[in-house]
């Protein structure tokens, strides 16, 4: 799916299944049970939305998505790695605490943030989201919790219709909506002048990234017209920010991306810059 290949300095590690305890910090047991009860023996079933489709293997994949970020965070916090990139499907940032939606079942980045805090070494976590769609689930989960800052750039108007600039939570939510056709220069200016300084002021002890690559010019679902160099740029900026704030500790997780060629090239660009920063 993602063409990372054998990049120098890249180590592949298997993703474990998330535990019920890890998930329960974000998704109550009743929600977990309800998803498990809907797993079909064969064929497909729609969960909440007609395009949120579950097959027999979907739940296992979603559990490994949340498990991967918990495992990666552990590796970073104990010093086995400076940063990590979790290449997962299905994505997670649309999943709310009790609602699966937008191809998402568990909110992996939220599960990761809560896991990091539960380990006792991290209090303040910053979540950066540059997917073309607003991460409504991540916002819903943390909008009343000032220990987690969520900063998102996204196309507007576009699914799911949330992410307006006046949605600020407890002052810990910063939405940076961008018009269709925005392009590279405005994307970089928005992050350089608004998003990155806000995260720096928050002084996070860990940075998590919802890395969606559907703002790529090749992607059929978005129209922000970004290129691989823009993903190199934002990755360099985030890695530098992590160095300044939290000893380089950064964990990235794949969100959207629906053109296979664009997804592969942008993901590779992202991984290359993370490796160079480690």
Beta bridge partners of 46: 53
Query: Which token pair is 196?
Result: 């990155």
Helices of type H across 129-227: 136-142, 184-190, 196-202
User: What is the pLDDT, as a whole number, of residue 5?
Assistant: 67
The model's pLDDT over 106-132, given as tens digits with 9 standing for 90+, comes to 999 999 999 999 999 999 999 999 999
CB 92 within 8 A of CB 66: yes
* Count of other CB atoms within 10 angstroms of residue 208: 29
SS3 265: helix
Band (pLDDT 50/70/90 cuts) for residue 9 is confident
pLDDT of residue 80: 94
CA dist., res. 104 & res. 53, Å (int): 9
Q: Is the pLDDT reported for residue 11 higher than 90?
A: no
Looking at domain 20-277, its CATH class is alpha beta
Q: Is the pLDDT of residue 206 over 80?
A: yes
Contact yes or no for 174/151 (Cβ under 8 A) = yes
Domain range annotation of the chain:
20-277
What confidence tens digit (pLDDT) does each residue in 22-45 have? 999 999 999 999 999 999 999 999
Backbone torsions φ then ψ of 135, nearest 5 degrees: -85, 75
pTM to 2 decimals? 0.96
Would the pLDDT of 177 be above 80?
yes
For CA atoms 231, 69, 254, 80, give the dihedral sign.
positive
Asked if residue 2 has pLDDT above 70, the reply is no
Query: 187 pLDDT exceeds 50?
Result: yes
């Amino acid at each position: 799916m993602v063409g990372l290949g054998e990049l120098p300095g890249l180590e592949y590690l298997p993703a474990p299944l998330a535990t019920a305890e890890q998930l329960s910090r974000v998704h109550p047991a009743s929600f977990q049970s309800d998803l498990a009860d809907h797993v079909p023996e064969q064929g497909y079933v729609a969960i909440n939305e007609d395009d949120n489709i579950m097959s027999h293997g979907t739940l296992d994949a979603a559990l490994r998505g949340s498990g991967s970020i918990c495992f990666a965070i552990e590796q970073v916090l104990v010093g086995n790695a400076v940063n990590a990139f979790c290449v997962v499907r299905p994505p997670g940032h649309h999943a709310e605490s009790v609602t699966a939606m937008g191809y998402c079942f568990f909110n992996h980045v939220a599960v990761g943030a809560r896991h990091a805090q539960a380990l006792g070494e991290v209090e303040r976590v910053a979540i950066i989201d540059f997917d073309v769609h607003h991460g409504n689930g991540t916002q819903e989960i943390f909008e009343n919790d000032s220990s987690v800052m969520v900063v998102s750039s996204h196309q507007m108007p576009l699914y799911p219709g949330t992410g307006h600039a006046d949605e600020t939570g407890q002052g810990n939510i910063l939405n940076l909506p961008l018009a269709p056709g925005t392009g590279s220069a405005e994307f970089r200016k928005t992050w350089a002048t608004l998003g990155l300084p806000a995260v720096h002021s928050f002084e996070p002890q860990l940075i998590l990234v919802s890395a969606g690559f559907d703002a790529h010019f090749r992607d059929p679902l978005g129209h922000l017209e970004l290129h691989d160099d823009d993903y190199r740029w934002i990755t360099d900026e985030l890695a530098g920010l992590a160095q300044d704030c939290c000893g380089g500790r950064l964990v990235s997780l794949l969100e959207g991306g629906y053109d296979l060629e664009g997804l592969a090239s942008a993901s590779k660009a992202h991984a290359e810059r993370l490796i160079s920063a480690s």
